[in-house]
């Protein structure tokens, strides 16, 4: 580990750490946004939640706005969490610091835009496709670099 | 990396590692609990599962008990997995060891209680809200510390 | 951290990094496979997606093939992401290098087989159960080793 770990550029690790916590913050906001949307549409699932709000309310499973936020959030789990792993391993491959910084930034900003155009203000395609594609391409590039380096 | 990584308190890393594996164990138990609940309620989704159990059984998608466990499990993915990332990065910010230990413990125990009151023995609100809030606050605090340190 | 981090076998870290990126690649392919299946079955959920493809198309939420791929993908989130965390922490426990290499490989290959028999070519049980069980057992073994080491 010494050989691999010690060669990581400290400035790059800071960049990685900064954008990673920004992305975790973004994911937490999705949780809160789901709850907010549930209140706005009065669409709760768990009987104990429904009961604690109003005795007349009924559970509601298929509110389109709530389900949209939940799909955006699930898409985060599918894409951001693997990005954390790959970007960290990519740092161990001794990448060009300038390039690595741009990639980490682009990958993170792609996901922020993705949430905005998916869940906050639904925008016609291909806005979501493009923002999704940015992070996907960054991740794919990092995967290739890692496979070449670690194989 | 040397500068950042080398300053991590070894005792803190042990605490982080211990509670992280406890949380992974807790998440695995959610998988097993889902399967157990599927058997108890005879509610399977995949045709090949249904078929391997009884030729007369039909797929069942909406059993309330199974879906409750699955929601609790998904909530773990949304909260525990980002917690692993933030808590690790937080260790690199040279935090007060006593405070960091308490935060990691509180964050982990919050999630264990959350699963118990959500999936195992459904308890009226605000039990779930409170346990959810503990880990959320810990995570939010760590995020702020990390942003200040890595910006 | 020095004491724990520095003792990690560099060759083991390479093995971990290699199989981790292979698993992330596998997870990305699940995303693409979901999209592919949505096109094959013309089963889209978001109104803006439906609209951008054909004005006559209607959203479709319950296509069995799409839902099967999504269940397989969610199963990846539940199992592969925690595996990344535990396997990394396990490397810090100073494990036998040969054993650790076999475990990481087996855990990764188990998940690749799981996706193939679940989502790509549905195979009768117990194919999925066995492949699921391989990675589960590897993860459980690593958890026990970590708890003993870090407690």
| Interface predicted TM-score of the whole assembly (ipTM), two decimals | 0.91
The predicted structure's pLDDT at residue A5: 73
Mean pLDDT is lowest, of B5-14, B92-101, C33-42, C134-143, for: B5-14
Counting as contact any 3 or more CB pairs under 8 A, the partners of A are B, C
Q: What is the mean pLDDT of residues A47-66?
A: 86
Among C10, C16, C46, C76, the residue to mutate for chain A (most A Cβ within 10 A): C46
pLDDT at C115: 95
A48/B81 touch (CB, cutoff 8 Å), yes or no: no
Per the structure block, which two tokens stand in for A115? Answer: 């949430």
Q: What is the pLDDT of residue C103?
A: 98
| pLDDT score of C91 more than 90 | yes
Q: Rounded distance, CA B35 to CA B49, Å?
A: 11
User: What gap in Å lies between CA B62 and CA A59, rounded to an integer?
Assistant: 13
* The pLDDT value given to residue C52: 83
Other C-beta atoms closer than 10 Å to the C-beta of B102 total 13
Instruction: Answer whether the bond into residue C126 is a cis peptide, omega within 30°.
Output: yes
Q: How confident is the model at residue A47 (pLDDT cuts 50, 70, 90)?
A: confident
Is A124 at the interface with chain C, CB within 8 A? yes
Question: pLDDT > 70: what percent of chain C?
Answer: 97
Residues of chain A contacting C48 with CB distance shorter than 8 Å: 122-125, 128
C-contacting chains (≥3 CB pairs under 8 Å): A, B
Residue C1 has pLDDT above 50, yes or no: no
Least Cα separation, residue B32 to chain A (angstroms) = 21
| Block residue for tokens 């203000």 | A121
Note whether C124 contacts B9, CB cutoff 8 Å: no
Chain B residues with CB under 8 Å of A10 CB are 1-4
Report the pLDDT value the prediction gives residue B3, as an integer from 0 to 100: 60
Query: Does B20 reach chain C within 8 Å, measured CB to CB?
Result: yes
Tell me the two tokens of residue A101.
């910084």
DSSP letters of C100-133? HHHHHHHHHHHHHHHHIIIIIS---TTHHHHHHH
Cα gap B78→B130, rounded to integer Å = 17
Min Cα–Cα distance to chain A from C67, Å: 13
Q: Which residues of B fall within a CB distance of 8 Å from C81?
A: 77, 81
* Residue A2, pLDDT above cutoff 70: no
- Per the model's pLDDT, the better-predicted residue between A6 and C38 turns out to be C38
> Is the pLDDT confidence value at A18 over 90?
yes
CB contact under 8 A, A17 and B146: yes
- Closest partner residue to B122 among A13, A28, A48, by Cβ? A48
> What is residue A1's predicted lDDT score, i.e. its pLDDT?
43
The reported pTM is 0.93
User: Per-residue pLDDT for A149 more than 90?
Assistant: yes
Q: Chain B: nearest CA to C89, how far in angstroms?
A: 6
Residues in C closer than 8 angstroms to B84, CB to CB, are 85
Burial pattern A108-133, b for ≥16 Cβ within 10 A else e, equals bbbbebbbbbbbeebeeeebbeebbe
- Low-confidence stretches of chain B (pLDDT < 50) are 1
Q: Does C11 touch chain A (CB under 8 A)?
A: no
Alpha helix stretches (DSSP H) within C10-126: 10-41, 47-53, 64-91, 97-115
Q: Is C85 on the interface with A (CB under 8 A)?
A: no
Average pLDDT, chain A: 92
Q: Which chain B residues contact residue C1 at CB under 8 A?
A: 5-10, 13, 91
A5 touches B: beta carbon within 8 Å: yes
Q: Which two tokens stand for residue C45?
A: 């959920």
Residue of A nearest to B133 (CA): A32
Q: Given a cut of 80, is residue A30 above it in pLDDT?
A: yes
| Angstrom distance (rounded) from CA A79 to CA B71 | 20
Secondary structure of chain A in HEC code, one letter for each residue: CHHHHHCCCHHHHHHHHHHHHHHHHHHHHHHHHHHHHHHHHCCCCCHHHHHHHCCCCCCCCCCHHHHHHHHHHHHHHHHHHHHHHHHHHHHCCCCCHHHHHHHHHHHHHHHHHHHHHHHHCCCCCCHHHHHHHHHHHHHHHHHHHHHHHHC
* Residue C5 clears pLDDT 90, i.e. is over it: no
């Amino acid at each position: 580990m010494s050989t691999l770990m010690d060669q990581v550029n400290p400035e790059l690790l800071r960049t990685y750490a900064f954008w990673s916590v920004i992305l975790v913050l973004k994911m937490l906001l999705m949780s809160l946004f789901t709850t907010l949307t549930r209140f706005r549409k009065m669409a709760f699932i768990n009987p104990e939640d429904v009961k604690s709000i109003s005795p007349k309310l009924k559970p509601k499973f298929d509110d389109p706005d709530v389900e949209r936020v939940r799909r955006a959030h699930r898409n985060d789990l599918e894409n951001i969490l693997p990005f954390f792993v790959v970007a960290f391993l990519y740092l161990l491959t001794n990448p060009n610091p300038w390039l690595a910084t741009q990639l980490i930034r682009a990958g993170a900003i792609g996901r922020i835009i993705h949430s905005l155009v998916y869940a906050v203000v639904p925008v016609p395609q291909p806005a979501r496709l493009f923002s999704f594609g940015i992070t996907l391409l960054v991740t794919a590039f990092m995967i290739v670099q890692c496979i070449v380096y670690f194989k």
